[in-house]
Amino acid sequence: MNKYVIGVSVMVGLAIARVISTYAVFNSTSDEPAHIACGMEWLQWGTYTYEPQHPPLARAMIALGPYLAGIRPLNDSNRNVEGRAVSCGPAIWNEP
C-alpha cells in the first residue's frame, strides 16, 4: 500500500477521533428546545410570538422534522417548557 494512502488514512482517523472526543463538551445548548418551540409555533398556528428576535425560517426548518412526525405543540405560554415538551419524548407530546 502506498505510504501516502496510509498517511492520509491515519490523519483522517485522528481527525475523526478528535471530533468524537468533543461530543461530551460541545453538545446541544440549553436554548435548542426553545428554538424548536418557536418554529413549531410558526408551523402550527402561523404566529411568531415566543421570541421574535430571530427570523422564523431556520427555526421552522428545525421544527419541521418533529412536526411531520406528528408532534404538535402544547400551546404553553413559556417557550422553554414548550420546547422541552417537544424534544423530551412521547410521554408529554400532544398528539393531533
3-state SS of the chain is: CCHHHHHHHHHHHHHHHHHHHCCCCCCCCCCHHHHHHHHHHHHHHCCCCCCCCCCHHHHHHHHHHHHHCCCCCCCCCCHHHHHHHHHHCHHHCCCC
The answer to whether residue 48 scores a pLDDT higher than 90 is no
Contact 54, 86 (CB under 8 A): no
Residue with cell 413559556: 78
pLDDT tens for residues 65-86?
888 988 888 887 888 777 877 7
The answer to whether residue 27 scores a pLDDT higher than 90 is no
- Better-predicted residue by pLDDT, 11 or 74: 11
First to last CA, the chain: 58
- Better-predicted residue by pLDDT, 95 or 82: 82
pLDDT at 93: 47
Cell of 61: 426548518
